[in-house]
Amino acid sequence: MKHFSHPHDMQVIEIPSQTKKRTCFACKLPLIGSCYTCSRCKFYLHKFCFELPQSAQFKSHPQHTLALLYPPYIQGGCEACGESCNGFTYNCSLCNFNFHANCASLLETEPENDDERYITIFLRHKVSEQKSSKTELGWMKAQNQQYEEERARIRRMEMESDLQRRRQNMYNQQLKSMSDSINSMGQIGTSNYTYRYY
């Protein structure tokens, strides 16, 4: 079978739970059970990820249809969790809006029973927490960068002030040296000499 994200044919295989850890190209989560693979490239996709539609509309961005993209065709972070988009991502090129396929399936699908509802609410809370932490971290980095820039500016001013002071000292020393030279030459010119005639 073919998938739009990969040039070669893919086949379904079963991955036992004790197998060495492999991850899905689409969602970056570990592979267990049946998945699609390209054996020559070691390219893997969960069955769920393989079946994701190439375009979709979401409540989070109702004005446009989003296209399913994959690296390296994505730039920026996910609007839901704030993380960088390094797997399958739904993208609106008009608005530069990104939505991880994982986040889209988590936030946009309605749970079918109470167990799913509880898990979904918990995971949505975790996604929201992660995004706010990422935003706070970004703010702290910006504040730290401003602080470092201010420190660098103060250091430059101090260095310039020190350089100016040294130049002034050198200039004053030169003036003093010239003044001393002029005074000594004046003293030579006004000295009393006794002339003897033979």
Q: Which amino acid is at 158?
A: E
Distance from C-alpha of 71 to C-alpha of 74, rounded to nearest angstrom: 6
Q: Which two tokens stand for residue 150?
A: 């201010």
Residue 91 pLDDT greater than 60, yes or no: yes
> Could you read off the pLDDT of 3-22 as tens digits, one per residue?
888 888 888 888 776 566 78
DSSP 35-73: EEEETTTTEEEEHHHHT--SEEEETTEEEEEEEEE-TTS
Task: Check residue 109 and give its pLDDT.
Answer: 64
Task: Check residue 2 and give its pLDDT.
Answer: 85
Nearest partner of 29 among 78, 91, 102, 96, judged by Cα: 102
Q: What is the assigned CATH class of domain 55-108?
A: alpha beta
pLDDT band at 198 (very low <50, low <70, confident <90, very high): low
pTM, entire model: 0.55
φ, ψ (nearest 5 deg) of residue 26: -80, -50
Asked whether the beta carbons of 91 and 67 are under 8 A apart, the reply is yes
Residue 59 pLDDT greater than 70, yes or no: yes
> Could you read off the pLDDT of 120-138 as tens digits, one per residue?
555 556 666 665 666 666 6
Q: Say how many CA atoms lie within 13 Å of 43 toward its Cβ.
A: 17
Give the domain ranges of the chain.
11-50, 55-108, 111-167
Q: Which two tokens stand for residue 125?
A: 């809370």
